[in-house]
Amino acid sequence: MKIGLPKALLYHYYSHLWKAFFDELKISYIESNNTTTKTLILGKEKSIDESCLALKIYLGHIEELKDKCDYILVPRIYSLVKTEQVCTNFNCLYDLVRNTFPDIKILNYNIDLKHHHSEKSAFLKIGKELGFSIIESLNAYNKAKVIENNYYKNEEKKAKDALKSNKTKILLLGHPYILKDNLIGKNITNYLEKNNISLIYSYQMPRDLIEFNCSKISEKIHFTMNKKLLSAFNYFKDKVDGTIILTAFPCGPDSLANEMIIRKKKQNPILLLTFEDLTNNTAVITRLESFLDMLKGGIHL
């Protein structure tokens, strides 16, 4: 048996947890390849026009992966905090994939703290479906959580080291599935690194400081993932020379969060890059060049 892991959307939050869990249970898995233009084209063919760029890419990964494995892991996440919600795409992901790809077998779990469905119980459910006992599944989950926590601690350390640099420091603010995607974020990071920029990523902020830092911008944020973005901006804004926001069109929660961030920028220069398609890389590079020139010239807009 082989489990397919699409390298998009939730993968960029949970891949370390997933892979460690399956490794402990000795379950084989296969990851889809990095996003390419072909991936996006395949995803567009499976999507409605109103789908955001990140969802189109995700469906493209499913299409590329579907014939290479026995099951594809497609979680459903509704709420990670009882009083909050995540993106509606994450709410409907299981149903969307099931209806778009009726012939594939889906390995699914559900996290919805509002209705008392925890992450731990979700992974115990996966283990049961794969034929493992509660003890075996719980042991695998606990070990996987240690690996996941170590990953985030290591990312926090990377940010601290980057902030000590004498180079120009830029905060890249966006969801991990944007920042880490080979077709979207990697082009940006590669260009900035070639221009001797020290990069700090929003997902590198200490997780135990999210609530405090978000409250400095707004005490009531309904969407959990956007709360993390607001928190990261407040935490890093006085430690970097500028901020670049990467977002996928047409994301409603992002449009709200981005506006709140821009209004709170004070002296922190911000560049907002909204991606609807990826056919005009030259325009993006031109905007990045102008932004770097502005930072080097000490211009604050």
User: Do residues 45 and 140 both lie within one domain?
Assistant: yes
Domain with residue 8: its CATH number is 3.40.50
- Mean confidence (pLDDT) of the chain: 92
Please report whether residue 221 resides in a domain: yes
Q: Indicate if the pLDDT at residue 300 is higher than 70.
A: no
Please report whether residue 151 resides in a domain: no
Q: Indicate if the pLDDT at residue 229 is higher than 60.
A: yes
User: Do residues 25 and 108 both lie within one domain?
Assistant: yes
Please report whether residue 240 resides in a domain: yes
User: Do residues 169 and 137 both lie within one domain?
Assistant: no
User: Do residues 139 and 171 both lie within one domain?
Assistant: no
Please report whether residue 172 resides in a domain: yes
User: Do residues 58 and 104 both lie within one domain?
Assistant: yes
Q: Which two tokens stand for residue 140?
A: 């695998």
Domain with residue 247: its CATH number is 3.40.50.11900
Lowest average pLDDT, out of 6-10, 199-203, 285-289, goes to 285-289
Q: Indicate if the pLDDT at residue 241 is higher than 90.
A: yes
Please report whether residue 22 resides in a domain: yes
Residues, the chain, total?
A: 301
Please report whether residue 59 resides in a domain: yes
pLDDT class of 120 with cuts at 50, 70, 90:
very high
Lowest average pLDDT, out of 6-15, 157-166, 287-296, goes to 287-296
User: Do residues 169 and 285 both lie within one domain?
Assistant: yes
Please report whether residue 301 resides in a domain: no
156-175 mean pLDDT: 96
3-class secondary structure per residue, the chain: CEEEECCCCCHHHHHHHHHHHHHHCCCEEEECCCCCHHHHHHHHHHCCCCCCHHHHHHHHHHHHHCCCCCEEECCEEEECCCCCECCHHHHHHHHHHHHHCCCCCEECCEEEHHHCECHHHHHHHHHHHCCCCHHHHHHHHHHHHHHHHHHHHHHHHHHHHHHCCCCEEEEEECCHHHHCCCCCHHHHHHHHHHCCEEEEEHHHCCHHHHHHHHHCCCCCCCEHHHHHHHHHHHHHCCCCCEEEEEEECCCHHHHHHHHHHHHCCCCCCEEEEEECCCCCHHHHHHHHHHHHHHHHCCCCC
pLDDT for res 249: 84
pLDDT class of 264 with cuts at 50, 70, 90:
confident
130-138 mean pLDDT: 96
User: Do residues 136 and 49 both lie within one domain?
Assistant: yes
Give the domain range for residue 267.
165-296
262-272 mean pLDDT: 80
The percent of residues above 90 in pLDDT, for the chain, comes to 72
Lowest average pLDDT, out of 152-166, 213-227, 269-283, goes to 269-283
- Total domains in the fold of the chain: 2
Please report whether residue 212 resides in a domain: yes
User: Do residues 66 and 141 both lie within one domain?
Assistant: yes
Pick the more confident residue, 62 or 275. 62
